[in-house]
Amino acid sequence: MRIDKFLKVSRLIKRRTVAKDISDQGRVLINGRESKPSSAVKVGDEITVQFGQKLVTVRVERLAESTRKEEATSLYTLVKEEPIARETGF
C-alpha cells in the first residue's frame, strides 16, 4: 500500500492530498528513510511523521483498503511522540 493512502486510511492525516504534500516536503520517514507519496508500506514498518513541532512514530500493524473511524487506530501502534527541539538564535 502507498504511504499517502495508509496515512489517510489510518486517519493519521485526514486527506490523501495532504498526506501527499507532507511526503513531498520530506516530513514522512519509513524505517528512518525519507519517503515519496508512492513509497510502499508493509506490516512491521515504522513511520515517522512531522506534525508542526512534534514527531509521531507509529508501527504498521495491518493494512486495509478502507476502515471505519472506530477501527482506524487498529492499523498502527503508537511507538513514540516527541517534541522537536527548537533552535535558539543565541
pLDDT of 30: 97
The pTM score is 0.87
pLDDT of 6: 96
The runs of H, that is alpha helices, within 1-90 are 3-9, 16-24
pLDDT of 5: 95
pLDDT tens-place values along the chain, 90 residues long: 999 999 999 999 999 999 999 999 999 999 999 999 999 999 999 999 999 899 999 999 999 998 999 999 999 999 999 998 766 545
In the chain, what are the domains?
A: 3-83 (3.10.290.10)
d(CA 52, CA 16): 18
